Chain A
């Protein structure tokens, strides 16, 4: 079974700074998908970014980018020019690519606080 580990329970940075959230995972599969979800205080889970394991190029979405290191099984999220609205819980998640309706496996999350 796969596991997802987020080793930073909480992080705090100043507005406009760059912050990197760490995520490592364990799997024996060669092809899979990785996600970062954001959960603001309103509690709705929102997809931030998605990475397909067979793609070497790191995914980017505006201010959000990932550093995907497949051999190291590492999938960190970088937020550039952080904004107050980025304050939220961030969850790293893993899914199989087997073609079935597999559930996502989540990490415990990192609480990111953006200070004004």
Chain B
């Protein structure tokens, strides 16, 4: 069964450094999403992406964040200058159709630790 994959599984970085989290969505999916989950808290939506542009973003997704689909398979989340509060689990998800009409399938997540 096709899966969403994410790399790395765990990333440790120093405050102020740039990080890029990578995701490979399911191959025939067209809609892509990033979520984050701070330890012990609920999952929060960051951004969605469709047709090579951002479709929707939350208040969390400020200028420090960016997303890109550099080729036909990868979908990346970049944090330009990491802060301690960026430490969280970051989940990528994808779907064939717009939200609701189709299920979002989640990847296993990347645990980001900012020191």
Contact = CB atoms under 8 A, between A and B. Distances in A.
Contacts of A42: 108
Contacts of B107: 44
B25 to A, nearest CB: 12
Contacts of A103: 33, 35, 45-48, 56, 58, 99
B73 to A, nearest CB: 18
Contacts of B55: 100-102
A103 B33 CA distance: 7
A45 B40 CA distance: 15
Contacts of B43: 45, 91, 104, 106
Given A101-B33, A103-B33, A103-B45, A44 B100 contact: no
B101 interface: yes
Contacts, number: 81
A99 interface: yes
Contact of B42 (A101, A102, A108): A108
Q: Looking at chain A, what size class is its interface with the partner chain?
A: 20 to 34
Contact of A106 (B44, B56, B89, B105): B44
Interface string B98-115: 111101111111000000
Given A44-B107, A45-B43, A104 B91 contact: no
Contacts of A105: 45
A102 B109 contact: no
A47 B105 contact: yes
Given A101-B48, A102-B48, A106-B44, A95 B100 contact: yes
A97 interface: yes
A96 B100 contact: yes
A93 to B, nearest CB: 8
B55 to A, nearest CB: 4
Contacts of B101: 33, 97, 99
Closest 8 pairs (CB-CB, A-B): A103-B45, A101-B48, A101-B55, A45-B106, A33-B100, A102-B99, A44-B108, A95-B99
26 contacts: A42-B108, A43-B108, A44-B108, A45-B91, A91-B42, A95-B100, A99-B98, A99-B101, A100-B48, A100-B55, A101-B32, A101-B55, A101-B56, A102-B48, A102-B55, A102-B56, A102-B98, A103-B35, A103-B47, A103-B48, A103-B58, A103-B99, A104-B99, A106-B42, A106-B43, A108-B42
